[in-house]
């Protein structure tokens, strides 16, 4: 029923089945009638698991707004929808006749008409074959217009047309021999209503399958690369030559890089080795404490010399009166680093 094909999804039958699958019907009147109908559905134990769904779709069709498309065909569509619903699961097959009888009760109640008796005398599989033909007859006008005006169709769309025509022709051949068969009575009513013997003669050769986008891009790229013979060959030769020069230059560059790459290594690795050995000696041998002590003493000696130099400089730089000499000597005294 459902389809993801954009072209198929706009056809009347697909739109109506989508409405049935996704719409939600609500009880609006005749509550007692619907209660009795639900109990009748439950007597068919084979459809117990879907009886709520069936009942809800009966509501939906019964109270359908008249402005909706295919309103006048709603009872035919729901008949074929029920057939397909039951056909999907083999455990539902035995309930086909009983469920169609209940649907007929609903149609009689609200449409004031019964289904034709022939609808109760066909098998579930025959109803599926008729569904294919009926849907196609409903979709024919739009299909015919598309294949006449458009040069592109999806593969699914073309396959749908092909299968529908084949099914129509099979039924036509059968009913030329078995005219009194219930299946053929329904088929003949479809033919007369839609005057659709022309269905079997529909020409759709003009409607070619849409090309795959990846394949189309590949073809376009190939055309650009090859072009016309003659100048195209020369162009391709120049291009190949240019690419060869480019590849050679890249190779030469790589060789130069490889040759030069040893120079930094020769400098860096010895330095790292010296640093590593020094670190180990400093951290894990007596050399570390000895070097720290030696540096500390050296800093102290430098500090003392610096302080003496500063004192002399300050003493010589300022010529002060005698009355201040003692004070100055006390103010700018020697401060040993050992007292700090």
pLDDT at 206: 78
Q: Within this chain, do residues 13 and 148 fall inside the same structural domain, yes or no?
A: yes
Q: Which two tokens stand for residue 94?
A: 């035995």
Alpha carbon dihedral 311, 315, 318, 320, in 10-degree steps, equals 130
Chosen domain end from 169, 189, 209: 209
Q: In terms of pTM, does the model score above 0.85?
A: no
In this predicted structure, the answer to whether residue 82 has a pLDDT above a threshold of 80 is yes
In this predicted structure, the answer to whether residue 66 has a pLDDT above a threshold of 90 is yes
Residue 122 lies in a domain: yes
Q: Within this chain, do residues 19 and 152 fall inside the same structural domain, yes or no?
A: yes
Nearest-angstrom CA–CA distance, 35 and 268: 94
For 244-249, what is the mean pLDDT? 47
Residue 182 lies in a domain: yes
275 vs 339: which has the higher pLDDT: 275
Residue 258 lies in a domain: no
Chosen domain end from 162, 187, 209: 209
Residue 230 lies in a domain: no
In this predicted structure, the answer to whether residue 306 has a pLDDT above a threshold of 60 is no
* SS3 of the chain: CCCCCHHHHCCHHHHHHHHHHHCCCCCCCCHHHHHHHHHHHHCCHHHHHHHHHHHHHHHHHHCCCCCCCCHHHHHHHHHHHHHHHHHCCHHHHHHHHHHHHHHHHHHHHHHCCCCCHHHHCCCHHHHHHHHHHHHHHHHHHHHHHHHHHCCEECHHHHHHHHHHHHHHHHHHHHHCCCCCCHHHHHHHHHHHHHCHHHHHHCCCCCCEECCCHHHHHHHHHHHHHHCCCCHHHHHHHHHHHHHHHHHHHHHHHHHHHHHHCHHHHHHHHHHHHHHHHHHHHHHHCCHHHHHHHHHHHHHHHHHHHHHHHHHHHHHHHCCCCHHHHHHHHHHCCCCCHHHC
Q: Within this chain, do residues 174 and 272 fall inside the same structural domain, yes or no?
A: no
In this predicted structure, the answer to whether residue 27 has a pLDDT above a threshold of 90 is no
Count how many domains the chain has: 2
pLDDT at 28: 86
Assign 296 a pLDDT band (cuts: 50, 70, 90): low
Out of 110-119, 203-212, 240-249, 260-269, least confident range: 240-249
Residue 192 lies in a domain: yes
pLDDT at 230: 47
227 vs 130: which has the higher pLDDT: 130
Chosen domain end from 163, 185, 209: 209
Q: Within this chain, do residues 183 and 284 fall inside the same structural domain, yes or no?
A: no
Residue 244 lies in a domain: no
Out of 41-55, 185-199, 291-305, least confident range: 291-305
Q: Within this chain, do residues 189 and 118 fall inside the same structural domain, yes or no?
A: yes
pLDDT at 318: 39
Out of 72-81, 100-109, 292-301, 319-328, least confident range: 319-328
Q: Within this chain, do residues 141 and 282 fall inside the same structural domain, yes or no?
A: no
The whole-chain average pLDDT of the chain stands at: 76
In this predicted structure, the answer to whether residue 73 has a pLDDT above a threshold of 50 is yes
Assign 140 a pLDDT band (cuts: 50, 70, 90): very high
Q: Within this chain, do residues 95 and 23 fall inside the same structural domain, yes or no?
A: yes
Residue 243 lies in a domain: no
In this predicted structure, the answer to whether residue 266 has a pLDDT above a threshold of 70 is no
pLDDT at 119: 96
pLDDT at 91: 95
Q: Within this chain, do residues 202 and 272 fall inside the same structural domain, yes or no?
A: no
Per-range mean pLDDT, top range of 65-69, 269-273, 282-286? 65-69
Q: Domain of 270?
A: 264-339
For 214-236, what is the mean pLDDT? 50
Residue 224 lies in a domain: no
The set of residues, in sequence order, having a beta carbon less than 8 Å from that of 111 and lying 6+ positions away, is 75
Q: Within this chain, do residues 192 and 119 fall inside the same structural domain, yes or no?
A: yes
Q: Within this chain, do residues 99 and 196 fall inside the same structural domain, yes or no?
A: yes
């Amino acid at each position: 029923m459902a389809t993801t094909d954009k072209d198929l999804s706009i056809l009347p039958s697909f739109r109506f089945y989508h409405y049935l699958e996704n719409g939600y019907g609500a009880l609006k009147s005749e509550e007692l009638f619907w209660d009795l109908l639900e109990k009748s559905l439950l007597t068919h134990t084979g459809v117990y698991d879907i009886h709520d769904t069936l009942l809800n779709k009966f509501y939906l069709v019964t109270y359908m707004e008249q402005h909706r498309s295919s309103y006048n065909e709603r009872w035919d569509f729901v008949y074929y929808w029920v057939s397909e619903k039951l056909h999907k699961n083999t455990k539902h097959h035995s309930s086909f006749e009983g469920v169609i009888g209940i649907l007929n009760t609903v149609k009689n109640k609200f449409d004031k008409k019964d289904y034709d008796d022939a609808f109760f005398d066909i098998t579930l599989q025959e109803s599926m074959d008729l569904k294919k033909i009926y849907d196609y007859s409903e979709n024919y006008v739009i299909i015919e217009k598309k294949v006449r005006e458009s040069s592109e169709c999806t593969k699914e769309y073309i396959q749908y047309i092909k299968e529908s025509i084949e099914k129509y022709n099979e039924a036509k051949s059968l009913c030329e021999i078995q005219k009194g068969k219930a299946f053929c009575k329904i088929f003949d009513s479809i033919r007369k209503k839609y005057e659709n013997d022309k269905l079997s003669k529909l020409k759709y050769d003009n409607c070619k399958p849409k090309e795959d986008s990846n394949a189309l891009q590949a073809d376009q790229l190939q055309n650009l690369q090859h072009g016309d013979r003659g100048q195209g060959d020369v162009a391709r030769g120049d291009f190949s030559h240019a690419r060869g020069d480019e590849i050679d230059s890249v190779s030469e560059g790589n060789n130069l890089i490889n040759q030069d790459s040893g120079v930094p290594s020769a400098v860096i690795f010895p330095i790292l080795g010296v640093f590593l050995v020094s670190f180990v000696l400093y951290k894990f041998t007596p050399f570390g404490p000895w070097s720290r002590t030696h540096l500390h003493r050296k800093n102290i000696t430098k500090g003392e010399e610096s302080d003496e130099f500063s004192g002399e400089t300050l003493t010589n730089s300022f010529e002060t009166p005698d009355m201040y000499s003692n004070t100055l000597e006390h103010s700018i005294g020697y401060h040993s680093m050992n007292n700090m």
